[in-house]
Amino acid sequence: MKKLITTLALTTAAASTVWADSGYIGADIGRVDAEITADYFSGSFDTQPSALRVKGGGELNKNLAIEGYIGMGLAKDTVEDTDIDAEVDTIIGLDIKGLLPIGDTAAVYAKAGLARISFEDSDNDTYSKNGLTYGVGASVSVSENFALTLDYTVFPDAENKEYELDIESNMISIGFQYYP
């Protein structure tokens, strides 16, 4: 965790001079779809807590960007067929985005990077993992300094070794980017 935060901070600081004209800050809110599985039972259980991410990044050129984000859960959700609530504890990540501009006001992108996601349940058990993340999205400029975003991210599978549980998760979100 400390290595991931240090890498995120150093990369952001090193790239900040490149982003002087194209840097942005923003946020998005979304639903995390989480599927819980274990080797000792068949089937799976689902839960859909919500989360908020605050992000910052910059476009290195018209086809390449770097984005870092940190997030937290907003609302718990009951795990399907149980009386256990689950929520996103933290999300931290750093992605490289390949951009495909559509005219002057829109773009679609694919992204890949490193992330850590952590869940907590109502019994205070935690499930977390560092690993690869990837996704796709789109942005539409509504003014010179403001864009709306739609994003889909697949996170690393979180795990709890004590209970031998795995959580596959992804997030679909809407948000904004502000270019100061």
Neighbours of 6 (CB within 10 A): 10
Question: Could you tell me the pTM of the whole model?
Answer: 0.86
* The pLDDT of residue 13 is above 80: no
Quote the pLDDT of residue 172: 98
Name the token pair of 35: 């599927």
- Select the CATH number that applies to the domain covering 2-178 from these four: 2.40.160.20, 3.40.50.720, 2.70.210.12, 3.30.379.10: 2.40.160.20
Q: Express each pLDDT in 151-163 by its tens digit.
A: 999 999 998 888 8
pLDDT given at position 71: 96
* Residue 105: half-sphere exposure toward Cβ, Cα within 13 Å: 7
Provide the pLDDT confidence category of residue 3 given band limits of 50, 70 and 90.
low
Q: 126 by DSSP, 3-state: which? A: strand
In the chain, domain spans: 2-178
Does position 180 have pLDDT exceeding 60, yes or no? yes
